[in-house]
């Protein structure tokens, strides 16, 4: 008897079904990788943000002291705040119930040398005390003021006792300001920091930082913003694109947005009517998820639930804005209790004091710069200098 040998195996249909099932499993696993990579990057940012900010503060403190900064009334009387005189219509002159002192000044960004500046070594550098009259002519922050035509601030006030005016003719009449030259080069404003001498050799940094300063209750505060730059097509080091004035951090006046102003009664801290804004517009890019914000009162806010599209729901902060100390006459809930926007005299009501919320102005890192490079906010902090 002849026995037929059987050859057992898979049919083509069975093989295709097996490949299909395997493919579904592989695709499901592969879908986890982008999310895992994103979470890993966020964890790295959370860790490195504080390190980079601390490093930036160390660099700033190595070149600057509290005594380098002046008071607004000592530098230019156009910047003397309303608190130098009458605090309110209900009080007599020389009574100050605001939680600030005469000569304080609001957040100001240092001057910056644009990315196309003629001297390559200065491209992207910030000059703390530069004025519009500085010989190198970096870009100085410009504000508008309705009561003063062509109003241009003279830069960040410096201490006139430490840096007195120059009397070239020795006639007792000052001829020019002796503006201190204190700069932070682009290589110092990245992490890891680069200290080379040939600008074209500067490598890309993993993180970058910008800063601004204010005087409050007589002391100098510094705000540090840390961010990443995503520009895969670029091989050279990053230098911020700047057109006519310092652009980072960017300032938004909330009066021009649907949220108008934030008060300390937000609980949960959901910003009403922000869903009426277009988050892709520069002035509203503070609404993106994960944004770090510094307000005019020196408090830091984080956007826990943000908006990328006009169809997204309202913005939610990680915590409610902090209640501010209120003066006796300025305690009505309608006034928002003690907001101190005293830098906008002539524009805001009540001689410069905006009384429509605890937070009316915020500074942040936009989503993209002028060259359409993606900026990813990582961290922000406010510290004493």
Tell me the torsion sign for CA atoms 69, 73, 76, 79: positive
Same domain membership, residue 215 and residue 310: no
Same domain membership, residue 102 and residue 236: yes
Domain contains 57: yes
Domain contains 53: yes
Whether the link from the prior residue into 249 is cis, omega within 30° of 0, is yes
Same domain membership, residue 342 and residue 230: no
Same domain membership, residue 256 and residue 206: no
The count of other CB atoms within 10 Å of the CB of residue 255 is 15
Same domain membership, residue 202 and residue 116: yes
Same domain membership, residue 106 and residue 143: yes
Same domain membership, residue 121 and residue 174: yes
Please tell me the distance from the alpha carbon of residue 126 to that of residue 138, in angstroms, as a whole number: 8
**Cα separations (Å) of 35 from 42, 256, 322?**
10, 36, 34
Count structural domains, the chain: 2
Write down the residue that tokens 């902060």 correspond to: 317
- Output the tens digit of pLDDT for each of the chain's 385 residues: 556 665 666 677 777 887 888 877 777 676 666 666 667 777 788 889 999 999 999 999 999 999 999 887 655 544 445 556 544 444 444 434 456 677 788 888 999 999 889 899 999 999 999 988 788 889 888 655 444 445 556 678 888 888 887 766 666 666 667 789 999 999 999 999 998 888 889 998 999 999 999 988 889 999 999 999 988 888 778 888 777 778 889 988 887 788 777 877 777 789 988 999 999 999 999 999 999 999 988 999 999 999 999 999 999 999 988 776 544 334 343 333 344 455 443 333 444 444 456 788 899 999 988 888 899 999 999 999 9
Same domain membership, residue 61 and residue 191: yes
Of the chain, the end-to-end C-alpha distance in Å amounts to: 101
Position 351 scores a pLDDT of: 41
Same domain membership, residue 260 and residue 178: no
Structure tokens at 119: 């001297």
Contact 264, 322 (CB under 8 A): yes
pTM: 0.81
Same domain membership, residue 297 and residue 226: no
Position 54 scores a pLDDT of: 96
Same domain membership, residue 322 and residue 202: no
Write down the residue that tokens 């960040």 correspond to: 156
Which residues form the domain of 90? 39-242+366-385
Q: What is the 3-state secondary structure (H, E, C) of the chain?
A: CCCCCCCCCCCHHHHHHHHHHHHHHHHHHHCHHHHHHHHHHHHHHHHHHHHHHHHHHHHHHHHCCHHHECCHHHHCHHHCCHHHCCCCCCCCCCCCCCCCCCCCEEEECCEECCCCCCCHHHCCCEECCCCCCCCCCCECCCCCCCCCCCCCCCCCCECCCCCCCECCCCCCCCCECCCCCCEECHHHHEECCCCCCCHHHCCCCCEEEEEEEEEECCEEEEEEEEEEEECCCCCCCCCCCCCCCCCCCEEEEHHHCCCCCECCCCCCCEECCHHHCCCCCHHHHHHCCCCEEEECCCCEEEEEECCCCCCCCCEEECCCCCCCCCCCCCCCHHHCCCCCCCCCCCCCHHHHCCCCCCECEEEECCCECCCCCEEEEEEEEEEEC
Domain contains 19: no
> Packing angle between helix 32-63 and helix 12-30, nearest 10 degrees?
20
Same domain membership, residue 71 and residue 211: yes
């Amino acid at each position: 008897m002849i026995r037929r040998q059987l050859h057992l195996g898979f049919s083509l249909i069975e093989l295709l079904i097996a490949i299909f099932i395997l493919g579904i499993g592989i695709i499901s696993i592969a879908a986890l990788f982008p999310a895992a990579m994103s979470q890993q990057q966020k964890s790295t940012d959370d860790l490195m943000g504080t390190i980079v900010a601390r490093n930036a503060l160390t660099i700033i403190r190595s070149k600057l002291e509290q005594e380098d900064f002046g008071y607004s009334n000592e530098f230019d009387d156009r910047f003397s705040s309303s608190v130098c005189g009458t605090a309110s219509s209900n009080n007599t002159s020389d009574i100050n119930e605001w939680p600030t002192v005469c000569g304080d000044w609001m957040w100001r960004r240092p001057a910056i040398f644009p990315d196309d500046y003629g001297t390559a070594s200065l491209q992207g550098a910030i000059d703390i005390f530069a004025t519009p009259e500085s010989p190198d002519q970096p870009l100085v922050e410009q504000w508008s003021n309705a009561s003063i035509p062509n109003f241009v601030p003279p830069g960040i006030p410096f201490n006139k006792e430490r840096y007195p005016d120059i009397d070239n003719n020795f006639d007792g009449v000052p001829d020019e300001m002796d503006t201190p030259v204190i700069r932070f080069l682009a290589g110092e404003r990245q992490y890891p920091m680069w200290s080379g001498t040939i600008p074209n050799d500067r490598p890309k940094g993993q993180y970058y930082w910008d800063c601004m300063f204010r005087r409050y209750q007589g002391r100098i505060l510094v705000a540090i913003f840390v961010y990443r730059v995503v520009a895969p097509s670029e091989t050279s080091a990053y230098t911020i694109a700047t057109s006519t004035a310092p652009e980072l951090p960017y300032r938004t006046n909330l009066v021009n947005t649907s949220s108008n102003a934030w008060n300390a009664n937000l609980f949960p801290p959901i910003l009403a009517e922000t869903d009426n804004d277009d988050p892709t517009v520069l002035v509203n890019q503070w609404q993106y998820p994960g944004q770090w914000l510094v307000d005019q009162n020196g408090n830091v806010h984080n956007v826990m639930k943000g908006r990328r599209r006009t169809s997204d729901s309202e913005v939610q902060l990680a915590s409610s804005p902090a209640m501010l100390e209120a003066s006796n006459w300025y305690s009505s809930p309608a006034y928002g209790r003690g907001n101190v926007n005293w830098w906008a005299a002539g524009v805001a009501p009540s001689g410069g004091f905006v009384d429509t919320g605890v937070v009316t102005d915020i500074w942040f890192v936009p989503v993209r710069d002028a060259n359409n490079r993606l900026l990813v906010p990582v961290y922000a902090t406010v510290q004493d200098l």
